[in-house]
Structures are given as structure tokens and as C-alpha cells.
């Protein structure tokens, strides 16, 4: 919040005007009847929930701003302590990392492609992945996609 408490006061005033306890409902013949929608206790609980939501939203916006600026999570201005800050950083959802093959991995993949084994079966992909993992991080999906892209590249080249 901005520290003045003005936002909270405005929310309460608006809420009280909209629905202090009753909502007027138009009746027949000009008569107006009222219906109880929320109890005072429910209204107070709702106010607390809105306040908590507003605080969380502001903290998330600040965290997003600091994360997008530096690429890492820095929340020195927020109310997080040391352990909570580290835990928050660990639980943060990061963008999927792109696989960058090492030169050795590319060479091995190219050699295998030139052998022309055709369509790779799951067992063969596992073998290749195991061999390539000795030269850096790689997954079976990376191997499968590499061969698929390489076949497409080869096909495009032949069409020219």
C-alpha cells in the first residue's frame, strides 16, 4: 500500500455504499423491500480477504518487476526473510531452457545421421541419449527432435 491507508478507506466506503447490509429491491406499486445479502461478519471477512489480496497483488507485481529487470529474484524491499526468499526463488517457475548441444554431441549426431538408420525406435533413441549424455546435458526428446529437424532440413535441401 501507499502507507496513507486512503485506498483501504475508499474500498470500504464503496463497499458500504454498494452493500452495507441490504440491497434495495424494487417492489410492486412503488414499495421498496430489502433483502439481507451478507451478515456483518461475512462483510468483515470479505474486507479482510480483499485487503490480503491487494497486498499479495502488490508484492507479486514488485517481485515481477525485480525479476524481469535482473533475471533473478531480488525482494529486498518486500517483507520476505532470508529463508523465505530462497524458497520462493526455488519454487519460481522459469522459462523452459533451450538445449544447446556441445560440438561433440553435434558431431556424434551428424555421424549417426549419415549412417542412415532411418526412423529411430525408442530403444535406439535411449542408447544415443546415453552416449551423448557423457558429453553434456541431453534428453531423449532432444535426440528425437534433432533427428526430426535434420531429416526436414535434408528434405528441404533436396527440393531446391
Query: Tens-of-pLDDT digits for all 160 residues of the chain?
Result: 455 556 666 666 555 555 544 455 555 555 666 777 889 999 999 999 999 999 888 888 888 887 777 654 444 444 444 554 454 444 444 567 888 999 999 999 999 999 887 678 889 999 999 999 999 999 999 999 999 999 999 999 999 8
C-alpha cell at 50: 480483499
> What sign results for the dihedral spanned by CA atoms 107, 111, 116, 120?
negative
Report pLDDT for 88.
Answer: 43
Which of left, alpha, beta for 32 (phi over 0: left; psi -120 to 50: alpha)? beta
Check residue 63 and give its pLDDT: 84
**Domain 103-159: CATH class, spelled out:** mainly alpha
Q: How is the chain split into domains, by residue range?
A: 6-91, 103-159
Amino acid at each position: 500500500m501507499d502507507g496513507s491507508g486512503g485506498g483501504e478507506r475508499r474500498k470500504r466506503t464503496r463497499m458500504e455504499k454498494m452493500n452495507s447490509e441490504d440491497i434495495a429491491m424494487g417492489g410492486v406499486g412503488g414499495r421498496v423491500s430489502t433483502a439481507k445479502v451478507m451478515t456483518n461478519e461475512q462483510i468483515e471477512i470479505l474486507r479482510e480477504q480483499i485487503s490480503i489480496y491487494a497486498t499479495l497483488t502488490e508484492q507479486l507485481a514488485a517481485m515481477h518487476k525485480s525479476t524481469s529487470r535482473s533475471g533473478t529474484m531480488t525482494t529486498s524491499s518486500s517483507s520476505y526473510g532470508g529463508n523465505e526468499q530462497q524458497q520462493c526463488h526455488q519454487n519460481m517457475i522459469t522459462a523452459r531452457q533451450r538445449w544447446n548441444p556441445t560440438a561433440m554431441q553435434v558431431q556424434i549426431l551428424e555421424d549417426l545421421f549419415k549412417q542412415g538408420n532411418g526412423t529411430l525406435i525408442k530403444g535406439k533413441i535411449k542408447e544415443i541419449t546415453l552416449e551423448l549424455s557423457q558429453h553434456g546435458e541431453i534428453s531423449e526428446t532432444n535426440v528425437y527432435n534433432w533427428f526430426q529437424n535434420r531429416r526436414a532440413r535434408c528434405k528441404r535441401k533436396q527440393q531446391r
